Chain A
Amino acid sequence: EAGVAQSPRYKIIEKRQSVAFWCNPISGHATLYWYQQILGQGPKLLIQFQNNGVVDDSQLPKDRFSAERLKGVDSTLKIQPAKLEDSAVYLCASSLIRGTTSTDTQYFGPGTRLTVL
């Protein structure tokens, strides 16, 4: 079974530029997550999709970050314009379904390391 795919693996940009990250979840997984992992910290959830609908984007800085999952499969996370503090690893994860009384295991991709200069 193929895992969660992410690209690019590394990206270096200057502040105020824009950048986009792509994620392809495990086949059949309805729920997709984007996390931000700043150096020395644990991952922080940015946004969560159930199929192609957003179920939680309370931690997404909506003035500069956007994400979409148009066909309920792969997803794109965009930052425009980038700031120095956006330097981090962006992790994508997927799970079978967002349960109502339990939680399903989240499977993580390798991440995209973003450096903003």
Chain B
Amino acid sequence: AQSVTQLDSQVPVFEEAPVELRCNYSSSVSVYLFWYVQYPNQGLQLLLKYLSGSTLVKGINGFEAEFNKSQTSFHLRKPSVHISDTAEYFCAVFEDTGRRALTFGSGTRLQVQP
């Protein structure tokens, strides 16, 4: 069965600093990988996804993520964060076999300070 681990529950960072949110997964089959963002009192919004091809994926709002199959990781990065990036970020995995459903990590709270 697949699982997703987001290693940091909270990440405080100053505005304009770079940030990396870590995500590791475990699965015995091919997977697709996603990052979602959740702003307060809102639903989840897709930031980016990896289905195949280039392992570096660019998403909205200047975010990017790199798929590393050998390390089973899909870390999210942004070179310079803004106050408006303050939100909860969720990594999710979709196994292309069996149950074929999204499994989410527990989330990382990104707090951007001025």
Contacts and interface: CB of A to CB of B under 8 A. Distances in A.
Given A42-B4, A103-B32, A91 B43 contact: yes
A45 interface: yes
Given A102-B32, A105-B49, A42 B92 contact: yes
A98 to B, nearest CB: 7
Contacts of B101: 45, 48, 56
A103 B43 CA distance: 19
A67 interface: no
B46 interface: yes
Interface residues of A, number: 24
A3 to B, nearest CB: 8
Contact of B102 (A101, A106, A111): A106
Contacts of B94: 103
Contacts of A93: 43-44
A55 to B, nearest CB: 9
Interface stretch (B13-21, B64-72, B103-111): B103-111
Given A40-B106, A42-B107, A56 B44 contact: no
B99 A43 contact: no
Contacts of A102: 32, 51, 96
Given A103-B32, A105-B49, A106-B102, A43 B96 contact: no
Interface string B1-15: 000100000000000
Contacts of B32: 102-103
Interface in A42-68: 42-45, 48, 56, 58
Nearest to A3: B43
B22 to A, nearest CB: 15
Given A42-B107, A43-B104, A56-B100, 6 more contacts: A42-B4, A43-B44, A43-B90, A91-B43, A103-B51, A109-B43
| 6 nearest A-B pairs in the assembled complex, by CB-CB distance | A42-B104, A108-B43, A108-B44, A110-B43, A103-B94, A45-B101
Interface of A: 3-4, 40-45, 48, 56, 58, 91, 93, 98, 101-103, 105-111
